[in-house]
Amino acid sequence: MKERDDGQKTDKTKIIGVREKLIEVLKPYFDVGDKIVDEILGEIQKIVSPIRTKISESRSEFILKGDKILKGRTYALFTIQIRHFDSLILYLGDVLGEEISEIVFKELQKFAGENDAIGIISDRRFCLLKEISEREDINEICKSIIKIISTRRKIDSREIKITLNIGASIFPEHGSNIAELMKASESALEKSVKLGINSYAMFEYEVREEIERKQKLLQDIFKGISEEKIYFVLQPIFTVKEKEIKMLEILMRWEGKYLDPNEVICASEEVGAIEEIMDYTFKKISEISKIDKIISVNISPRHISQDAILDIIIHDIEKYGIEPGKMCFEITEKASSEEMNYAVKNIKKLKKMGFWIALDDFGSPNTILSHAYETPTDIIKVDSSIIRSVSKDNFRRVILRGITYIAKELGKTTIAEGVEKEEELEEVVKAGVDMLQGFLLSTPISFEEAIKLIKT
């Protein structure tokens, strides 16, 4: 499959070629400087890529116009997103991807009346502020948008079906201005994405509670960092036969409570604090990595697939002098096949640098078997849902032995998660699992406790 980077390089090469040609043509007539050429190229790009120009101009105009018309009437704000847009870009290339965005924008304009507003938020996301008579209008508008846009179309001789997700909020019920309505409709959009292709969802107060919970989490994170109240504990991972500590999984804590690292990353991304959070985390990891064991950290495919986050990870690892061979990234298996596919490119980069890669939560209800051999991992971690009651449940016993067999055939190490009882340990031994972690041998411990435990 063609990677997106290839298309971007091709476009860049074309622009450089145009730039050189432009200088060659204009030089006999004008004193051509870099600034003039860049201005001309900028105007050309606006013509070639109108959707990008509209993105930069449209968002601010939409917010200004929207706030002006939110007076004395009932409005619904729809956030419309092209589903699987990155896949379309990979398949069609950037230029045709922009054409799809242009098609969606033109179709949405048909829904905007004189007292309405429409805006392009990104190459895949649009907002429509539309006056409504009653709440029930929202369902009909969502259905109509999906029906009109989600049809098969020929683009550059290829038949493409554009699919959507829509989130909706209501003025004044869900917000007193456009910014508040956009937050509410984007939260509804997240719910719609989980519902599947061509789905729509209305903002609910339960979603608002989730937003408030995230805001509280962010406050806690920043307070925790400034006061150094966010700390890390270590979950030892033992060899099954010798009961020797081989690895330590790092877990984040705030006032004694567990913090999901992926949720922390998501929350910090939203407010542009990702660099501060990552820097703090890797500073602590560098201190812990002085223990002569492999330190294991969790990260989701969604985050590892982002080049910007990968760049931060590599920068911080180099900054704090962390040895790649002493660190393992646990990639959660509770992810869609599409998310994992995007992550593979960057996982390969980390593996090539010498880091260990583990496939976490394998055997959970979401498990996709192909991830075991398509993802370049060294370790498969068997989900605790398989280990739980494995001694009494023949189905779990068969699954555990099956995973172990597959891992051995693929040359991968296995770790059993959540081993809490002696009878579970017995089944783990019988299945031929290599390593284990769980409360039976050790609860999460401090840095100092880990050093003592390793020495004994």
Hey, what are 345's tokens?
């490119």
Question: What's the token pair of residue 205?
Answer: 């107060």
User: What residues form DSSP beta bridges with 415?
Assistant: 381, 435
User: Could you tell me the two tokens for 401?
Assistant: 């032995």
Q: How far apart are CA 56 and CA 413, in angstroms?
A: 49
Query: Which are the contacts of 103, defined by CB distance < 8 A and separation ≥ 6?
Result: 149, 153, 162
Residue type, 206: E
Contact 409, 390 (CB under 8 A): no
**pTM of this prediction exceeds 0.85:** no
Which CATH homologous superfamily contains domain 211-455?
A: EAL domain (3.20.20.450)
Between the alpha carbon of residue 302 and those of residues 266, 361, 455, the distances in Å are 10, 16, 38
- Which CATH architecture best describes the domain 51-203? 2-Layer Sandwich (3.30)
Q: Helices marked H in 196-336 — which ranges?
A: 205-226, 261-270, 274-288, 301-304, 307-319
Q: Kindly report the CA angle at 387 between 382 and 389, in degrees rounded to 5? A: 165
Could you state, in order of their start, the residue ranges of all structural domains in the chain? 4-48, 51-203, 211-455
Assess whether the previous peptide bond of 324 is cis (omega < 30° from 0). no
> What local confidence, expressed as pLDDT, does residue 2 receive?
32
Per-residue exposure over 283-295, b if at least 16 CB sit within 10 Å of its own CB, e if not? ebbbebbebebbb
Query: How many Cβ atoms sit within 10 Å of the Cβ of residue 451?
Result: 13
pLDDT score recorded for residue 247? 96
- Quote the crossing angle between the two packed helices 178-195 and 205-226, to the nearest 10°: 100
Instruction: Single out the residue of 170, 162, 165, 182 nearest to residue 59, CA to CA.
Output: 182
Q: Name 272's Cβ contacts closer than 8 Å, sequence gap at least 6.
A: none
Task: Report the distance separating Cα 361 and Cα 391, nearest Å.
Answer: 19
Is 227 within 8 Å of 252 (Cβ atoms)? Answer: no
d(CA 377, CA 371): 9
Q: Are 368 and 391 in contact (CB under 8 A)?
A: no
pLDDT at 47: 42
Q: How far apart are CA 185 and CA 183, in angstroms?
A: 6
Helix axes 85-92, 4-26, angle to 10 degrees: 60
Note whether 51-203 and 211-455 share their fold.
no
Grouped pLDDT means (10 residues each) for the chain, 456 residues: 36 43 52 53 45 54 85 91 79 76 91 89 89 91 95 81 93 89 90 88 75 70 73 93 94 73 66 74 87 90 83 92 94 68 88 94 75 86 92 91 92 96 95 96 91 82
